[in-house]
Amino acid sequence: MDKVTLHDKTFRKFIYNSRIMEAIEEVAERINADFEGCEDIPVVICTLNGALPFTGELFMRLKFNCELGSVKLSSYRGTSSTGTVLTVQGLTEEVAGKRVIACEDIVDTGNTILALRELLLANGATEVRIATMMLKPDIYDKDIKLDYVGMEIPNDFIVGYGLDYNGLGRNLKDIYVLDK
């Protein structure tokens, strides 16, 4: 499908699934190099719901022992950020005394990453590394280092591969951009 309609908006294909898989493979290689030979058991935290496909693909490529957990945060309504990050579901895995790899689908303003990092550290994580499938560098304005970035994209509203517009579009295997 070159175009999809979700609710009242039309989106056109922007990033093919093959490019998404390449980006995830590159992120996995960097994480594997950083954690090679680790004797501790890091925790991979998936930020639900959007990062579910990214985290699943990434997790299957990790070559060291690790645990998997999740947290659900929310900051979007429609096509724009509310500026407020809400914890919808708390951490499902204990992170106290552990290194954490926090996985996000997309980082734009960085508000969610900041809230997630603070939550993980408040729960006793010894280190938090951030892995994101996509980054919008034009609007990212936080001082938090993003350790693993799959790809950089312009500041456009996108759906697919976990990203949604009011609940729809997460199941698309490619990424689509709002067709203006």
Is the pLDDT at 30 greater than 80, yes or no? yes
List of domains in the chain: 18-155 (3.40.50.2020)
Catalytic residue among 2, 40, 105, 108: 108
Compute the distance between CA of residue 148 and CA of residue 43 in angstroms, rounded to an integer: 16
- pLDDT tier for residue 80 given thresholds of 50, 70 and 90: low
Is the pLDDT at 42 greater than 80, yes or no? yes
* pLDDT of 84: 77
Name the residue among 55, 73, 79 with its Cα closest to residue 132.
55
- pLDDT tier for residue 81 given thresholds of 50, 70 and 90: low
> Is 8 a known active-site residue?
no
* pLDDT of 70: 97
Compute the distance between CA of residue 112 and CA of residue 83 in angstroms, rounded to an integer: 9
Percent of the chain with pLDDT over 70: 96
Is the pLDDT at 151 greater than 80, yes or no? yes
- pLDDT tier for residue 79 given thresholds of 50, 70 and 90: low
- How far lies 84's CA from each of 25, 35, 75, 106, in Å? 32, 33, 6, 16
State pTM to two decimals: 0.93
Name the residue among 112, 107, 128 with its Cα closest to residue 44.
128
Query: Can you tell me which residue has the tokens 């922007």?
Result: 14
Is the model more confident about 87 or about 11?
A: 11
pLDDT, tens only, 85-135? 777 788 999 999 999 999 999 999 999 999 999 999 999 999 999 999 999
Q: Residue 1, class by beta-carbon neighbours within 10 Å (0-12 exposed, 13-18 middle, 19+ buried)? A: exposed
Maximum distance among all alpha carbons in the chain? 51
Question: Once rounded to an integer, what is the mean pLDDT over residues 160-177?
Answer: 97
- Across the chain, mean pLDDT equals 94
Specify the DSSP class assigned to residue 5. E
